[in-house]
Amino acid sequence: MRAPQSLKQEFLKKWMVGLQLCESTNQNMSILERKKAIKLSADIAMASTRNGMTCWSRALVAKTSTDFGNKVLVDNILLASQSEKLKNKRTIIRRKKILRKSHRARKARGGRVVARSLAKEMVKKRTQVLKSLVPGGEFMDDVSLIEETLDYIVSLRAQVDVMRTLAKATELMNGK
Amino acid sequence: MNRALLPEMLHCTDMTVLERQRARFKWQQEQELQQQQQQHHQQESFFGDLSGVFQLQLQHQGLQGDLGEVVTRSVKPDPASMDNGWPGLVGFGPSGYENNNGSGFDVNYAISRTSSCQPAVAGAAVDATVLAESREPVMSEKLSPGVGRENLKKRKVDKLQHNTKVVAEDESRDKRVKGCAGEGESMNTEKNNNKSSSTSKNSTKENSAETSKDNSKVTEVQKPDYIHVRARRGQATDSHSLAERVRREKISERMKYLQDLVPGCNKITGKAGMLDEIINYVQSLQRQVEFLSMKLAAVNPRLEFNIDNVFAKEQAFPAPTTNFPETGMSSDLTNPVYLQFNQAQQQQQQQQQQLFSSSGSIPEMFIDPSCFTHIQPSSTWDAVSDLQKIFTM
């Protein structure tokens, strides 16, 4: 549907719009404020490239707009980047849950059962961590969590690429 | 011979009722010579009013949901006697069920929709079939107080009579599972029950039970999203086991994609290790974003990034003169290695993965020798951590 390069370009465009907005609202910032603004606008831009198709982008927008003062900025960026869809579609799509049979308490006999339960426990722990990492992950089931993680990783990579490129370019330009 | 044909029919969702009936008719001709004809005729009269409803509802695979019923029928002594109600309803041959017995059993279960059958009704059906004609007055008397209320009793009877047969037992378990249905569906069945009870004034109760069962199943079969699952030999076939298996398969499939996407995940086996790797990767990416935004903030005294210049360069992504990593990455698109996986994935992701996941070697991809002139470490991750160290100092 969409080539990754156009994804990057879209992201860059939206990011630039967001940066300009940040710049216009606040002229003199400390380095930390600037960093915050850059990160915020980059995140919003990344989320808005998804057009509200994915859970993580919606969750990201929702999360960033809950911070005080950011709401206006977020709305402005979204407005400027013409992704109205993202704002309107904030409801989280949940999958139908499969009712599971209650597990009977199994007696631990032998090492195999212990190992199995141990492995299960490990997976569960890691899934929890992953849920905390992916925005909006707390509301996802296992399958959609992995799907969203896939999507999120792809977007993060694009973001990192663009940001690195930009940093490189500005460095070169400043050096000259 | 026709058993090979039937699974295809089951799979085919867009088949009209008419085509189905036609196919069924062939079967009918083969196995018509059973003894239920007289009952068939007598019941046709009172099912006539329901048939319109059924024909509307039977768009999709009406038989899939009925597989459980089919299974119970396969073990009962007189399979044909209960099928009488059905041909009157939709014009299906009574043989349709029997033919399903062999093929339908192992072919496919519609998972999500087997869950709405009312247990009482199913039990009633089994009961009725098990009992011979002589016992019928007893059964009808038993059923008469209300179809929905008699669940437990009927199931008990059902178990008593079937506990020697493995399949029947399995089926009853399935029914118990079905008992916990969603509210909407239970409402639906209730409605159907009322309807059928109103029609059952001039009929035996077991038939009304069957109609309500069929009704509920048919309505839920309407849902277009279903999954075909095949249970292998020795695997559990109740709906929950099947659903769980499907879920696990889905997860492992997605995990495979993630394995392709995340560098260094190829050699790791086991879900926990892979999740570890994924977590690390996501964290490193997030930290990179953090770090890069810091870096950008440090490099630029203002938020404006000489955007015109940068844009001019960025817009010319594919141009070979720019020394951005994108130029190196665009050549990756032609690599045929990426084309082999991910057919099932969303196209969007597919394209991105084709570009991004260069067989798990991100560092090489990120390090374009022409681009990183003053950061020249062995791998990008090292570079990032180095720079982070510098930053924190």
pLDDT for B244: 87
Q: Nearest-CA residue of chain A relative to B283?
A: A133
What pTM did the predictor assign? 0.45
Are the C-beta atoms of A11 and A158 separated by less than 8 Å? yes
Nearest of A51, A40, A4, A2 to residue A155 by alpha carbon: A4
Q: Is A123 an 8 Å CB contact of chain B?
A: yes
Q: What whole-number percentage of chain B has pLDDT above 70?
A: 18
A31-48 helix and A70-80 helix, angle to the nearest 10 degrees: 50
Q: Which residues contact A38 (CB under 8 A, 6 or more apart)?
A: A19, A22, B293, B296, B297, B303
Q: Write the pLDDT tens digit of every residue in B295-346.
A: 888 877 666 655 555 555 444 443 333 333 333 333 333 333 333 333 333 3
Mean pLDDT score, B67-72 = 41
Q: Which residues contact B343 (CB under 8 A, 6 or more apart)?
A: B350
pLDDT for A102: 54
Chain A residues 64-83 with CB within 8 Å of chain B: none
Separation CA B340–CA B330 (nearest Å): 18
pLDDT for B23: 62
Mean pLDDT score, B353-373 = 38
Q: Which residues contact B350 (CB under 8 A, 6 or more apart)?
A: B342, B343
* Subunit contact A149:B258, Cβ cutoff 8 A: yes
Q: Nearest-CA residue of chain A relative to B225?
A: A96
Q: Write the pLDDT tens digit of every residue in B164-217.
A: 344 444 444 444 444 333 333 444 444 444 444 444 444 444 444 444 444 444
Report chain A's mean pLDDT, rounded to a whole number: 75
Highest averaged pLDDT of the listed ranges A108-112, B44-48, B106-110, B349-353: A108-112
Q: How far is B199 from chain A (nearest CA, A)?
A: 34
Residue of A35, A64, A122 to mutate for B, most B C-beta atoms under 10 A: A35
Q: Is pLDDT at B371 greater than 50 in this prediction?
A: no
* Residue from the list B275, B299, B366 with its beta carbon closest to the beta carbon of A167: B299
* Subunit contact B298:A31, Cβ cutoff 8 A: yes
Chain A residues 13-52 with CB within 8 Å of chain B: 16, 19-20, 22-23, 29, 31-32, 34-35, 37-39, 42-43
Q: What whole-number percentage of chain A has pLDDT above 90?
A: 1
Mean pLDDT score, B226-255 = 80
Separation CA B157–CA B125 (nearest Å): 11
Residue of B309, B352, B361 to mutate for A, most A C-beta atoms under 10 A: B352
Complex ipTM value: 0.79
Chain B residues 273-312 with CB within 8 Å of chain A: 275-276, 278-279, 281-283, 285-286, 288-290, 292-300, 302-307, 309-311
Q: Write the pLDDT tens digit of every residue in B138-179.
A: 444 444 444 444 444 444 444 444 443 444 444 444 444 443
Mean pLDDT score, B92-110 = 40
Per DSSP, A98 falls in state P
Report chain B's mean pLDDT, rounded to a whole number: 50
Kindly give the confidence (pLDDT) of every residue in chain A, 176 residues in length, as a single tens digit, with 9 standing for 90 and above: 456 677 888 888 888 877 777 777 766 777 788 888 888 888 888 888 877 778 888 888 887 777 656 666 666 666 655 544 444 444 445 555 555 555 555 555 567 788 888 888 988 899 899 888 888 888 888 888 888 888 888 888 888 888 888 888 888 877 76
Separation CA B155–CA B161 (nearest Å): 10
* Subunit contact A38:B293, Cβ cutoff 8 A: yes
Q: Is A122 an 8 Å CB contact of chain B?
A: yes
Q: Is A144 an 8 Å CB contact of chain B?
A: no
Q: How far is B209 from chain A (nearest CA, A)?
A: 26
DSSP per position, B62-125: HHHHTHHHHHHHHHSS-HHHHTTHHHHHH---THHHHHHHHHHHHH---TTTGGG--HHHHHHH
Q: Is B317 an 8 Å CB contact of chain A?
A: yes
Q: Nearest-CA residue of chain B relative to A34?
A: B297
